[in-house]
């Protein structure tokens, strides 16, 4: 018997067509034939997951914003300083990867991008700054470095957790 010949109905939750014989929607998992308590439990669980996803998104936005902030600081500060063109260019070019990473993180898998950004930041601070002599370092205080590292780590963890939670949400 083909599936087209079986009776179907619309799911009250996701509004997709599902088989009448199913106890649950084949699309989102809503217990169509379940009791009111089972249906409410499903809705409550889905709402709780969506709330946690929303909370993690704020950490991701902060980490993306941090990447933009670092990039813009490098670019604007070095362009405004009265320095040689080589020094201006070196300082300005340090900002470009942060802005690029921020753009990529806002569109693709941010937890991996934040880890790449963390690696680039540590490389910049520990290795590159010893090779390039710049008259100013943006994050020369240890507390500033800890904030940057902490926000990138938290952003990466939040992005990973958010992706994991989204997999638990019903698909509709």
Delimit the domains of the chain by residue range.
1-40, 52-168
Where b means 16+ CB within 10 Å and e means fewer, 128-162 reads: eeeeeebeeebbeeeeebeebeebbebbbebbbbb
How far apart are alpha carbons 70 and 92 in whole angstroms? Answer: 11
Quote the pLDDT of residue 136.
58
The residue assigned the tokens 């939040």 is 158
Q: What DSSP state is assigned to residue 5?
A: G
Question: What is this structure's pTM?
Answer: 0.72
Q: Which positions ≥6 away from 158 have C-beta within 8 Å?
A: 56, 57, 59, 60, 63
In this prediction, residue 132 has a pLDDT band, given cuts at 50, 70 and 90, of low
Mean pLDDT, the chain, integer: 84
How does pLDDT run across 93-131, given as a tens digit for each residue?
888 999 999 999 988 889 899 999 999 988 888 777 666
How does pLDDT run across 36-79, given as a tens digit for each residue?
998 899 999 989 999 999 999 999 999 999 999 989 988 888 88
**CA dihedral defined by 124, 127, 133, 138, rounded to 10 degrees?**
30
Quote the pLDDT of residue 62.
93
**Sign of the alpha-carbon dihedral angle for 67, 71, 74, 77:** negative
How does pLDDT run across 136-162, given as a tens digit for each residue?
566 667 778 888 899 999 999 999 999
Say how many C-beta atoms besides its own lie within 10 A of residue 63's C-beta: 29
């Amino acid at each position: 018997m083909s599936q087209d010949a079986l009776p179907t109905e619309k799911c009250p939750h996701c509004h997709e067509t599902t088989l009448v014989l199913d106890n649950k929607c084949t699309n989102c998992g809503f217990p169509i034939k379940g009791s009111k308590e089972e249906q409410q439990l499903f809705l409550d669980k889905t709402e709780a997951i969506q709330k946690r996803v929303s909370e993690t998104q704020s950490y991701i936005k902060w980490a993306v914003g941090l990447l933009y902030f670092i990039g813009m600081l490098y670019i604007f500060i070095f362009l405004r300083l009265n320095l040689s063109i080589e020094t201006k260019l070196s300082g300005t070019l340090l900002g470009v990867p942060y802005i690029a990473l921020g753009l990529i993180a806002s569109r693709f898998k941010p937890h991996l991008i934040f880890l790449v950004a963390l690696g680039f930041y540590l490389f910049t601070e520990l290795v590159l700054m010893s090779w390039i002599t710049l008259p100013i370092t943006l994050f020369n205080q240890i507390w500033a470095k800890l904030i940057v590292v902490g926000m990138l780590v938290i952003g990466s963890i939040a992005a990973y957790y958010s992706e994991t939670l989204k997999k638990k949400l019903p698909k509709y």
